[in-house]
Amino acid sequence: MKETVRIAAGQGFWGDLPSAPVRQVHDGPIDYLMLDYLAEVTMSIMQKQKARDAKAGYARDFVALMKEILPACVARDIKVVANAGGVNVRGCAVAVAEVAYELGLMGKLKIGIVTGDDILDRLDDFLSRGLELRNMDTGEPLHTVRDRIQSANAYLGAAPIVEALGKGAQVVITGRATDTGLTLGPLIHEFGWATDDWDKLAAGTIAGHIIECGAQCSGGNCQYDWQSIPDLANVGFPIAEASADGTFVITKHENTGGRVNVPSIKEQLVYEMGDPREYITPDCVADFTTIQLAEAGPDRVRVSGIKGGPATDSLKVSISYSAGYKAVGTLVYSWPDAYQKAQAADTILRARLQRMGLRFDQVLTEYVGANATHGPLAGEPPADVAEVQLRVGVRGNDRAAIEQFTKEIAPLILTGPPGVTGFAGGRPKVEEVVAYWPALIPKNQITANVKFLNV
């Protein structure tokens, strides 16, 4: 058994810094590269891609990345764990296998394929058996949006990843797996933690939580003393250096920018936090009020003391459904009286929309430069404010009404207050709104499958 295992985070979301995972592999020693690609609405985008092309529906960036780093990963036995498979995990694995073949890695690569999360085809069966899949936020039962559902996936935990690694997979590709499971899985595999060793499972989960947002724990988006954080252009992504006893150190490669210190870790720990005593995952319930942090050298923070409790008997389900349309239009008003002009333009726009008889579920006006982020807390902008951006958004089920709204923005330039610009982008685009429906499902309804592809 290794004394410590180094798990490097390579992507905090689909679209994160492309060079980050490459540098994690090349700039220093690591044992695992962990990549999180799936935000809540990503699955619906991938489901649409798959509907157009049966071979699509996964994070293509991951395949391009593999082309770049697979030879080094194979040579140095760095294992890769990624939820890049989206709604076509097998397709993603085949694409990676093709890349490996092109790179001449025949006989050297075993790819683990984790499925079982996709429950889109099983929803009617669940509903007919009385599983209501109520929205965790609103309490509404799922049948109210049944005909508009685009994707449905249960969040799998660490167990299938552990199985894949245990059977020799070098690369493990999952669909909807928890971000934290991508880190916990390798630790269970390496250290043989028992499935009811709740404190250690909680520790691995919290290690995963800290590094799952990439550089957001190593100096990015860090308020604490932000002006003194060195060389963010060269920011180092985080590495969890874990021990078998469930303690770990968060660090980053030498000669990279950013900063890992107690305040940077605290900021990430509280990110998207609910009840800190009950951080619920498929694997355990972690208690954030037990975490102890200590500086352990430059860019090193030791994390210890973590306690956890038994996992619940449910899995979270992420469902996406079509929820109408929206569009956002903007114009920029300049000094003098920039704020007043933007407000006058909004009044004119709303009067015209009303005269046209257009109805929306929601209309929102914001003044960027005055109050778009802090609302009434920002107070009135200074009288001589140099410029204000008027930003008006509408949402509703009537696509035609949203289309008409998009035609009413540019005319304000010649028919409204003066000193206006910023319309070069043309008419605002009408976007389909794909909303997110969180629910719970009994664990016994979901079975993860682990298969392999040998190159």
Residues in contact with another protein by the rule CB under 8 A: 40-41, 137, 221, 223-224, 263, 266-277, 288-293, 305, 323, 326, 328, 362-364, 366, 368, 372-377, 391, 393-395, 433-436, 438
Please identify, using beta-carbon distances, which residue of 71 and 305 lies nearer to another protein. 305
H/E segment holding residue 52: helix 42-52
Please identify, using beta-carbon distances, which residue of 192 and 263 lies nearer to another protein. 263
Please identify, using beta-carbon distances, which residue of 288 and 333 lies nearer to another protein. 288
Q: How far is the CB of 233 from another protein (least distance, A)?
A: 21
**Rounded distance between C-alpha atoms, residue 16 and residue 62, angstroms:** 12
**Rounded distance between C-alpha atoms, residue 221 and residue 215, angstroms:** 8
Q: How far is the CB of 53 from another protein (least distance, A)?
A: 23
Please identify, using beta-carbon distances, which residue of 30 and 203 lies nearer to another protein. 203
Is residue 328 within 8 A of residue 393, CB to CB? The reply is yes
Kindly report the number of other CB atoms within 10 A of residue 12's CB atom.
Answer: 24
Q: How far is the CB of 171 from another protein (least distance, A)?
A: 30
Please identify, using beta-carbon distances, which residue of 49 and 389 lies nearer to another protein. 389
Please identify, using beta-carbon distances, which residue of 19 and 362 lies nearer to another protein. 362
Q: How far is the CB of 225 from another protein (least distance, A)?
A: 9
**Rounded distance between C-alpha atoms, residue 141 and residue 130, angstroms:** 11
Which among 252, 157, 171, 262 has a CA at the least distance from the CA of 205? 157
Q: Tokens standing for 420? A: 């206006």
Q: How far is the CB of 301 from another protein (least distance, A)?
A: 12
Kindly report the number of other CB atoms within 10 A of residue 165's CB atom.
Answer: 22
Q: Residue 125, SS3?
A: helix
**For the purposes of burial, counting CB atoms within 10 Å of the CB of 39, is it exposed (0-12), middle (13-18) or buried (19 or more)?**
middle
Q: How far is the CB of 44 from another protein (least distance, A)?
A: 9
Please identify, using beta-carbon distances, which residue of 252 and 316 lies nearer to another protein. 316
Phi first, then psi: what are they for 308, rounded to 5°?
-145, 175
Q: How far is the CB of 105 from another protein (least distance, A)?
A: 39
**Rounded distance between C-alpha atoms, residue 42 and residue 175, angstroms:** 11
Fill in the DSSP letter of residue 122.
G
